[in-house]
């Protein structure tokens, strides 16, 4: 079988040798035949098209022409000399230029026979081509060609050392000779037939030597599918093994608290999405395995009520629940909101934060251990080892990106059997990406806002329009609304940013003088108590303007605030802009978001601003963000290895990913251990991939 051949060190391939092998290893990470065969082209050039000289244009990529090469001459230049020849076809002439290998070219080029030349055209007082690939037309006609020529990844070092694209193609040819072009099939026949996939061998051949555009497309599809299929198989089986191995408390009842809340105290009708998510959570809580679920929902989509109803399920089954928020302000808001919702029910709720006084803390500890306390809401203080529950059944974490894995682990240890975990986030991660990143989390999405929300109206204004913006702010304040003005604060340039903030604050104070206007300011260099004091004044409506850095980004709920002004908006990432905008639009009034920038904007900045202006949909924004930044920069994906994909593209190949996941899940459902004979091919390949630890690289 080819398996062993593929493990051969690359220097043994004809045409490589130790010198080239060293370069291939260093520059492309190609150590073995296997690595080379998996060096997939970046793009292809259409070799079926022949251009005429009079069709050339100034900014063309590589082109292919047929004609005669004549009139060789040597031109002296500052350093050394160049060889120039005239290339002629029946429509005109151009120059061919060589800086190296001149003697050989001059002596071996045939002046009386047509050539096919190929390369990149340059224009400088006429067209020219440097170091063209050349082949006698008579040869060209005879040789077996692919319709499209592969262009492989390259580096400066590679081309310096003479390993051109052409050389790589030659090596690839050798590799196909050495392996006879036969590769182990990795996808079972059932799927191959259903999806009309090319066989592995045919796909490999056509990815490197496409015989037609359509065979190339099919080869790409097949290889991308294969890559994504095995990743999904790995992620899903990891998830399955968690479910079978980690036992969870069974909340079998939908009891009195849940029912009476639903019937009597729920202040609004749940949206369809909320209902669906509650159902998903209920299933998890009842099935005997520990729940590990990520709940994604855009800002304002109503995650809190879902959290509360899940906690009621815990209480109905004799368990306690906790809700942990990243900041004290948020914890307090959750506490107030939930106390209000359950005020007519016999449920005991407490708040535990860093500033809880020791007497109160003592009481909380006692009630937690006696079981008298049902719901504990708090900050990281809840995680401390000295906080013991009698019987914690469900832990909910709000805004997960402020919350590390280690902290999640602390929650796991708060009971004999780990409690169920629900992680809520308003940072939308495109679903497909989330699927490939969080194999060990199940995902729920609230993809619908409660009815009656007025979409936030977003505009982009230049700094030069500031006076108009100030006038607008005054009008809104006169109508009784409150305003956020946010400045960027990015760590590396903290001093400078801080100065911007203070300058901005002073100019706003000048423009909006007391006593008519009251202004709050909140930034990271203030003491927490001062921050809370300022925040509190704004929440109570004592101040009309809140000047702040991004500390207000997460969760704060001031329904009367209807204008969000973001200064130097070009310096924020898309997801951050969206988070900030989510601070307004929470009340009944029309809300506005104004993005302020200077005139100089990069094209990415423009795209970000346009995206914000054109949509309020967090998932749509996340998709654009993903395209702009690539998955590497998205929250939580840094070490996840999605970038190590060899051929698939997590963004562009979304549809293939979905298909791959579907097939993987159907197979695992039927045959979790891959023991059935029809899955032999998969089992075998899966084992090989795992042996090389290749797949593990993908796991976050
Ligand atoms: P987030 O998902 O950002 O945490 P919240 O849970 O804070 O959102 O909900 C935002 C607001 O929407 C709250 O004032 C909440 O009471 C309200 N809300 C939530 N669900 C609904 C619903 N189904 N119908 C009407 N209002 C709702
Ligand atoms: Mg929230």
Ligand 2 center from residue 398 Cα (angstroms): 7
Q: Does residue 425 line the site of ligand 1, with CB under 6 A?
A: no
Model confidence band, residue 610 (pLDDT cutoffs 50, 70, 90):
very high
Extract the tokens encoding 498. Answer: 């801080």
Residue 113 phi, psi (nearest 5): -125, 145
Q: Does residue 188 line the site of ligand 1, with CB under 6 A?
A: no
- Tell me which residue has its CA closest to atom 22 in ligand 1: 450
Exposed, middle or buried by CB within 10 Å (0-12, 13-18, 19+), for 688? middle
Identify the CA nearest to 1 among candidates 132, 242, 186.
186
| Whole-angstrom distance, CA of residue 622 vs CA of residue 677 | 42
What tens digit of pLDDT does each residue of 345-379 get? 999 999 999 999 999 999 999 999 999 999 999 99
Looking at the DSSP bridge assignments, the partners of residue 74 are: 83
Unique residue bearing structure tokens 């002629």 = 88
Identify the CA nearest to 658 among candidates 444, 434, 447.
434
Identify the CA nearest to 179 among candidates 68, 14, 348, 353.
14
Tell me how far CA of residue 19 lies from CA of 31, 103, 437, in angstroms: 13, 25, 39
Which ligand is nearest the CA of 308, by number?
A: 1
| Cβ atoms of 165 and 152 closer than 8 Å | yes
| Cβ atoms of 605 and 570 closer than 8 Å | yes
Q: What pLDDT sits at residue 185?
A: 93
| Whole-angstrom distance, CA of residue 412 vs CA of residue 443 | 19
Which ligand is nearest the CA of 588, by number?
A: 1
Unique residue bearing structure tokens 């009630």 = 367
- Tell me which residue has its CA closest to atom 19 in ligand 1: 302
Ligand 2 center from residue 32 Cα (angstroms): 51
Identify the CA nearest to 444 among candidates 283, 322, 557.
283
In terms of average pLDDT, the best of 86-95, 287-296, 401-410 is 86-95
Model confidence band, residue 302 (pLDDT cutoffs 50, 70, 90):
very high
Sign of the alpha-carbon dihedral angle for 158, 163, 164, 165? negative
- Among 296, 298, 300, say which to mutate for ligand 1: greatest number of ligand atoms within 8 Å of CB: 300
- Tell me which residue has its CA closest to atom 25 in ligand 1: 450
Unique residue bearing structure tokens 């900041």 = 327
| Whole-angstrom distance, CA of residue 14 vs CA of residue 4 | 17
- Among 450, 454, 591, say which to mutate for ligand 1: greatest number of ligand atoms within 8 Å of CB: 450
Model confidence band, residue 286 (pLDDT cutoffs 50, 70, 90):
very high
Q: Does residue 583 line the site of ligand 1, with CB under 6 A?
A: no
- Tell me which residue has its CA closest to atom 27 in ligand 1: 450
Model confidence band, residue 388 (pLDDT cutoffs 50, 70, 90):
very high
Ligand 2 center from residue 308 Cα (angstroms): 12
Query: From start to end of 240-380, where are the E strands?
Result: 292-297, 320-324, 349-352, 375-378
3-class SS of residue 59: coil
Sign of the alpha-carbon dihedral angle for 201, 206, 209, 215? positive
Which ligand is nearest the CA of 338, by number?
A: 1
Q: What pLDDT sits at residue 690?
A: 73
| Cβ atoms of 558 and 278 closer than 8 Å | no
For Cα atoms 627, 605, 426, give the angle at the middle one, nearest 5 degrees. 60
| Whole-angstrom distance, CA of residue 403 vs CA of residue 381 | 13
* Length in residues, the chain: 700
| Cβ atoms of 215 and 650 closer than 8 Å | no
Instruction: Tell which atom from ligand 1 comes closest to the C-alpha of 446.
Output: 2
Q: Name the DSSP letter for residue 56.
A: -
Q: Does residue 418 line the site of ligand 1, with CB under 6 A?
A: no
Whether omega before 475 lies within 30 degrees of 0, making that bond cis, reads no
Q: Which residue has the higher pLDDT, 468 or 405?
A: 468
| Cβ atoms of 240 and 693 closer than 8 Å | no
Other beta carbons less than 10 A from residue 87's beta carbon: 24
| Whole-angstrom distance, CA of residue 463 vs CA of residue 466 | 5
Which ligand is nearest the CA of 330, by number?
A: 2
Tell me how far CA of residue 437 lies from CA of 232, 421, 445, 635, in angstroms: 10, 18, 15, 11
| Cβ atoms of 76 and 58 closer than 8 Å | no
Which ligand is nearest the CA of 267, by number?
A: 1
Q: Does residue 601 line the site of ligand 1, with CB under 6 A?
A: no
Please report how many Cα atoms fall inside a 13 Å half-sphere around the Cα of residue 379, on the Cβ side.
Answer: 14
pLDDT at 298 over 80: yes
3-class SS of residue 151: strand
Q: Does residue 206 line the site of ligand 1, with CB under 6 A?
A: no
Q: Does residue 270 line the site of ligand 1, with CB under 6 A?
A: yes
pLDDT at 164 over 60: yes
Q: Name the DSSP letter for residue 289.
A: B
Identify the CA nearest to 329 among candidates 547, 566, 531.
531
| Whole-angstrom distance, CA of residue 218 vs CA of residue 201 | 12
Residue 280 phi, psi (nearest 5): -60, -40
Q: Give me the percent of the chain exceeding a pLDDT of 90.
A: 54
Which ligand is nearest the CA of 266, by number?
A: 1
Looking at the DSSP bridge assignments, the partners of residue 133 are: 118
Identify the CA nearest to 512 among candidates 576, 462, 466.
466
Instruction: Classify strands 127-130 and 545-548 as parallel, antiparallel or unpaired.
Output: unpaired
Unique residue bearing structure tokens 């695992």 = 668
Q: What pLDDT sits at residue 699?
A: 35
3-class SS of residue 207: helix
Least confident range of 123-137, 282-296, 429-443: 429-443
Q: Does residue 449 line the site of ligand 1, with CB under 6 A?
A: no
| Whole-angstrom distance, CA of residue 96 vs CA of residue 129 | 5
| Whole-angstrom distance, CA of residue 181 vs CA of residue 255 | 64
Q: What pLDDT sits at residue 441?
A: 73
Q: Name the DSSP letter for residue 247.
A: B
- Tell me which residue has its CA closest to atom 20 in ligand 1: 302
603-614 and 618-629 helices cross at what angle (nearest 10)? 170
Least confident range of 172-186, 402-416, 640-654: 640-654
| Whole-angstrom distance, CA of residue 145 vs CA of residue 499 | 64
Identify the CA nearest to 656 among candidates 151, 214, 197, 205.
197
Q: What pLDDT sits at residue 97?
A: 93
Exposed, middle or buried by CB within 10 Å (0-12, 13-18, 19+), for 526? middle
Q: Does residue 307 line the site of ligand 1, with CB under 6 A?
A: no
| Whole-angstrom distance, CA of residue 228 vs CA of residue 657 | 6
Model confidence band, residue 392 (pLDDT cutoffs 50, 70, 90):
very high
Model confidence band, residue 493 (pLDDT cutoffs 50, 70, 90):
low
Q: What pLDDT sits at residue 146?
A: 67
3-class SS of residue 412: helix
What tens digit of pLDDT does each residue of 446-464 get? 988 888 888 899 999 999 9
pTM of the model: 0.63
List all residues 6 or more positions away from 398 whose beta carbon is below 8 Å from its beta carbon: 303, 307, 323, 324, 325, 326, 330, 334, 424, 555
Ligand 1 center from residue 274 Cα (angstroms): 10
Q: Does residue 618 line the site of ligand 1, with CB under 6 A?
A: no
- Tell me which residue has its CA closest to atom 5 in ligand 1: 302
């Amino acid at each position: 079988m080819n398996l062993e051949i593929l493990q051969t060190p690359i220097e043994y391939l004809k045409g490589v040798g130790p010198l080239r092998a060293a370069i291939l290893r260093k520059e492309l990470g190609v150590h073995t035949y296997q690595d080379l065969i998996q060096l997939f082209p970046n793009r292809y050039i259409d070799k079926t098209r022949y251009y005429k000289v009079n069709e050339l244009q100034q900014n063309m990529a590589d082109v292919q022409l047929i004609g005669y090469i004549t009139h060789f001459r040597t031109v002296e230049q500052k350093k050394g000399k160049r060889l120039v020849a005239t290339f002629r076809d029946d429509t005109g002439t151009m120059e061919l230029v060589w800086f190296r290998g001149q003697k050989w070219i001059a002596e071996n080029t045939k002046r009386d026979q047509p050539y096919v030349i190929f390369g990149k055209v340059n224009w400088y007082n006429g067209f020219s081509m440097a170091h063209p690939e050349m082949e006698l037309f008579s040869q060209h006609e005879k040789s077996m060609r692919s319709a499209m020529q592969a262009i492989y990844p390259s580096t400066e070092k590679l081309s310096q050392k003479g390993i051109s694209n052409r050389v790589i193609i030659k090596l690839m040819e050798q590799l196909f000779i050495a392996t006879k072009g036969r590769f182990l099939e990795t996808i079972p026949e059932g799927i191959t037939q259903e999806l009309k996939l090319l066989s592995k061998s045919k796909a490999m051949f056509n990815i490197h030597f496409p015989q037609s555009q359509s065979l190339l497309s099919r080869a790409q599809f097949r290889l991308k599918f294969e890559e994504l299929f095995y990743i999904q198989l790995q992620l899903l089986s990891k998830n399955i093994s968690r479910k079978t191995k980690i036992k969870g408390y069974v909340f079998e009842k939908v009891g009195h608290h849940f029912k009476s809340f639903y019937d009597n105290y729920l202040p609004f009708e749940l949206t369809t999405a909320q209902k669906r998510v509650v159902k998903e959570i209920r299933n998890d809580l009842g099935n005997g395995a520990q729940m590990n679920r990520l709940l994604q929902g855009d800002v304002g989509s109503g995650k809190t009520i879902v959290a509360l109803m899940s906690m009621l399920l815990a209480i109905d089954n004799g368990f306690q629940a906790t809700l942990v928020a990243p900041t004290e302000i948020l914890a307090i808001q959750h506490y107030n909101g939930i106390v209000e919702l359950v005020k007519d029910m016999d449920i005991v709720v407490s708040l535990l934060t860093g500033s809880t006084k020791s007497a109160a803390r003592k009481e909380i500890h006692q009630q937690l251990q006696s079981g008298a306390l049902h719901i504990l809401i708090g900050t990281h203080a809840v995680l401390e080892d000295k906080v013991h529950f009698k019987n914690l059944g469900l832990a909910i974490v709000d805004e997960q990106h402020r919350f590390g894995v280690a902290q999640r682990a602390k929650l796991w240890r708060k009971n004999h059997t780990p409690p169920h975990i629900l992680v809520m986030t308003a940072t939308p991660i495109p679903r497909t990406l989330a699927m490939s990143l969080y194999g060990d989390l199940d995902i729920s999405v609230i993809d619908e806002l409660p009815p009656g929300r007025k979409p936030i109206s977003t505009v982009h204004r230049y700094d030069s329009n500031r006076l108009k913006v100030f006038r607008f702010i005054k009008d809104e304040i006169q109508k009784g609304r409150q305003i956020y003005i946010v400045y960027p604060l990015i760590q590396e340039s903290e001093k400078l940013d801080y100065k911007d903030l203070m300058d901005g604050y002073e100019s706003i104070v000048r423009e909006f003088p007391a006593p008519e206007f009251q202004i709050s300011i909140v930034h990271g260099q203030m003491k927490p108590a001062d921050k809370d004091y300022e925040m509190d004044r704004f929440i109570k409506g004592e101040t009309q303007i809140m000047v702040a850095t991004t500390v207000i980004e997460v969760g704060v709920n001031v329904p009367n605030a209807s204008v969000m002004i973001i200064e130097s908006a070009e310096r924020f990432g898309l997801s951050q802009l969206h988070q900030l905008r989510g601070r307004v639009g929470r009340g009944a009034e029309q809300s506005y978001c104004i993005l302020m920038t200077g005139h100089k904007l990069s094209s990415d900045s423009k795209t970000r601003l346009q995206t914000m202006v054109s949509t309020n949909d967090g998932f749509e924004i996340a998709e654009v963000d993903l395209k702009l930044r690539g998955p590497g920069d998205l929250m939580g994906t840094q070490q996840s290895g999605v970038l190590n994909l060899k051929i698939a593209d997590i963004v562009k190949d979304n549809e293939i990913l979905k298909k791959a996941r579907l097939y993987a899940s159907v197979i695992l459902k039927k045959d979790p251990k891959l023991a059935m004979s029809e899955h032999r091919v998969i089992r075998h390949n899966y084992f090989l991939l795992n042996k090389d630890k290749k797949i593990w690289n993908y796991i976050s």
